[in-house]
Amino acid sequence: MTLAIFDLDNTLLRGDSDHAWGEFLVSKDVVDGDTYRTANDRYYAQYVAGTLDIHEFLAFSLKPLARHDRATLDAWHREFMDARVRPMITPAARALVESHRAREHTLLIVTATNRFVTAPIAAEFGIPHLIATEPEERDGRYTGRVAGVPSYRDGKVTRLETWLAANDETLADSWFYSDSHNDLPLLNLVDHPVAVNPDAQLRAEAQRRGWRILQLD
Specify the CATH number for the domain of residue 200.
3.40.50.1000
Name the active-site residue from 7, 18, 183, 199. Answer: 7
Which pLDDT belongs to residue 155?
98
Q: Kindly list the strands in the beta sheet with 212-214, ordered across the sheet, starting from the edge strand earlier in the chain.
A: 141-147, 129-138, 106-114, 3-6, 175-178, 192-196, 212-214
Q: Report whether 131 contacts 118 (CB < 8 A).
A: no
Q: Report whether 70 contacts 143 (CB < 8 A).
A: no
Which pLDDT belongs to residue 33?
86
**Annotation says 183 is catalytic:** no
Instruction: Give the span between the Cα atoms of 148 and 21, in whole angstroms.
Output: 22
Instruction: Give the span between the Cα atoms of 46 and 49, in whole angstroms.
Output: 5
> What CA–CA distances, in Å, run from 31 to 28, 61, 179?
8, 11, 29
> What CA–CA distances, in Å, run from 196 to 64, 105, 141?
31, 19, 36
Which pLDDT belongs to residue 30?
93
**Annotation says 7 is catalytic:** yes
Which pLDDT belongs to residue 42?
97
Condensed to tens digits (0 to 9), the pLDDT of residues 159-207 reads 999 999 999 999 999 999 999 999 999 999 999 999 999 999 999 999 9
- Please give the full DSSP string across 44-81, using - where no structure is assigned: HHHHHHT---HHHHHHHHSHHHHTS-HHHHHHHHHHHI
Condensed to tens digits (0 to 9), the pLDDT of residues 25-83 reads 999 999 988 999 999 999 999 999 999 999 999 999 999 999 999 999 999 999 999 99
141-147 and 129-138 as β-strands: parallel, antiparallel, unpaired?
antiparallel
Find the domain containing 90 and state its range: 3-214
Is residue 3 within a helix (H) or strand (E), and if so which, with residue range? strand 3-6
Condensed to tens digits (0 to 9), the pLDDT of residues 106-138 reads 999 999 999 999 999 999 999 999 999 999 999
129-138 and 106-114 as β-strands: parallel, antiparallel, unpaired?
parallel
Longest dimension (CA), the chain: 50
Condensed to tens digits (0 to 9), the pLDDT of residues 91-101 reads 999 999 999 99
- What is the domain count for the chain? 1
Name the active-site residue from 9, 18, 179, 183. Answer: 9
Does 217 or 155 have the greater pLDDT score?
A: 155
